[in-house]
């Protein structure tokens, strides 16, 4: 017995679940969520999961400060009576949109298409309700309650100039961001001083800087070597001249000092033995002239000694 009761209870629950029908719904939707002032809003009104009905009626309200009603077109599948409503743009309402079917209709059904004009920015405030004058009725004359699925309730209308200004501002911001990023990514160019005081760009490859430093250092060493060799040559010349002067008699040395003074003053030239040159950068050749006198003097002394010896021998033999 208990088993039979349980079986009957389960069967009843299963039958009720199988016969459950989705609630009929009025759907209100637009072709997009936002509009610019001057555009038209197209509203589609449909029924879904409707039982067998003969017809019904709707009222549509809107924000008259933002939109105005332009037209109402009831779907022609409603083949018995049609009334496209009364538009009151001052009050923001379309009253008594009626539609009926001769033999009845069910399921998902198109009802009407409504067009609104946008006149200012703001919320369109679109809403649809069942008409209290002509509610939905089934084939038995009973009222059918529909729930509302209003997808057009949050439709916004934007000012075209404001949108353009905002787009320009966003573009300017993006361009500035791109410029700042490029400036940040670009390596900063600086100048780096080398040991010789020559400035090179910091972003120049290091091997080029090293090569330039090597060339400059080589040139500097060559210059220092030339100066050192020149100074050494002058020192050796002065040392030789001092040794030569000490071996000569005062009058000769004095005379040569005078000639050297004339040379240093730019008035002596060894080729002409006269005061004709003024080139202070000429290589000193006075020492060469002085050193050329030494063999002559030596030969003269040797000749005199030999002559004296010959004379002595001659006298001795004569005696």
pLDDT at residue 14 greater than cutoff 60: no
**What CA–CA distance (Å, rounded) separates 266 from 286?**
12
**Which stretch of 2-11, 161-170, 172-181 has the lowest confidence by average pLDDT?**
2-11
Q: Which one, of 54, 56, 145, lies nearest residue 104 by Cα?
A: 54
Whole-model pTM over 0.85: no
Residue 7 DSSP class: H
Residue 256 · residue 245 · CB < 8 Å: yes
Over the stretch 34-74, which tens digit does the pLDDT of each residue have? 999 999 999 999 999 999 999 999 999 999 999 999 999 99
- Give percent of the chain above pLDDT 70: 55
Residue 155 · residue 67 · CB < 8 Å: no
What is the residue-wise DSSP string for 219-279?
HHHHHHHHHHHHHHHHHHHHHHHHHHHHTS-HHHHHHHHHHHHHHHTT--BTTTTBS----
Q: Answer yes or no: CATH 3.30.420.10 is held by domain 23-158.
A: no
Helix (H) or strand (E) holding 218: helix 206-246
Domain ranges of the chain: 23-158, 248-318
Residue 102 · residue 80 · CB < 8 Å: yes
């Amino acid at each position: 017995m208990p088993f039979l009761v349980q079986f009957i209870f389960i069967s009843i629950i299963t039958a009720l679940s199988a016969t459950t029908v989705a609630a009929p719904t009025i759907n209100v939707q637009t072709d997009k969520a936002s509009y610019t002032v001057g555009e038209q809003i197209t509203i589609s009104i449909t029924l879904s999961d409707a039982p067998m009905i003969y017809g019904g009626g709707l009222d549509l309200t809107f924000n008259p400060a933002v939109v105005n009603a332009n037209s109402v077109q009831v779907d022609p599948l409603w083949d018995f009576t049609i009334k496209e409503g009364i538009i009151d743009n001052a009050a923001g309402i379309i009253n008594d949109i009626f539609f009926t079917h001769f033999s009845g209709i069910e399921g998902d059904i198109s009802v009407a298409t409504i067009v609104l004009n946008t006149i200012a920015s703001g919320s369109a405030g679109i809403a649809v309700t069942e008409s209290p004058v002509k509610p939905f009725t089934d084939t038995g004359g009973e009222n059918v309650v529909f729930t509302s699925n209003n997808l057009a309730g949050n439709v916004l209308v934007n000012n075209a100039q404001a949108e353009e200004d905002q787009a320009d501002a966003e573009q300017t911001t993006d361009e500035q961001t791109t410029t700042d990023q490029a400036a940040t990514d670009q390596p900063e160019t600086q100048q780096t001083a080398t040991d010789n005081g020559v400035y090179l760009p910091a972003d120049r490859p290091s091997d080029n800087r090293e090569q330039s430093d090597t060339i400059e250092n080589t040139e500097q060493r060559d210059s220092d070597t030339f100066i050192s060799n020149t100074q050494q040559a002058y020192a050796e010349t002065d040392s030789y001249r001092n040794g030569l002067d000490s071996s000569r008699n005062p009058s000769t040395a004095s005379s040569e000092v005078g000639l050297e003074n004339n040379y240093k003053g730019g008035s002596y030239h060894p080729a002409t033995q006269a005061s004709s040159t003024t080139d202070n950068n000429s290589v000193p050749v006075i020492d060469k002239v002085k050193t050329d006198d030494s063999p002559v003097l030596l030969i003269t002394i040797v000749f005199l000694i030999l002559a004296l010896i010959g004379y002595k021998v001659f006298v001795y033999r004569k005696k």
